[in-house]
Amino acid sequence: MRVPRGAAVPSGLRPGVGDCSDLVTKKPAGYVFREDLQLDRVVSEVRGQRATLRKRCEEVAAGHFDGDSHLPVRRELVTGRVP
């Protein structure tokens, strides 16, 4: 199953948001807002690289999230039957 169009990892988030903060840091696909992060630098970089950042976040989501793995759970929730 493909990742839905428009799905992406967040480009800016607080530390400890699921596995996304690690993902954003490791891939690099955005910013984790820690105390030492200079927000003026972030704003400048995002404005200058908006299209690149958007594409990178979409690519990371497509390579990381697998919709097929969720189908059995979704089917169970909808039908009430365990496969």
> Is residue 1 over pLDDT 70?
no
Task: Please indicate, yes or no, whether the overall pTM of this predicted structure exceeds 0.85.
Answer: no
Show me where the domains of the chain are located.
12-79
Rounded Cα–Cα distance for residues 81 and 83 (Å): 6
> Is residue 39 over pLDDT 50?
yes
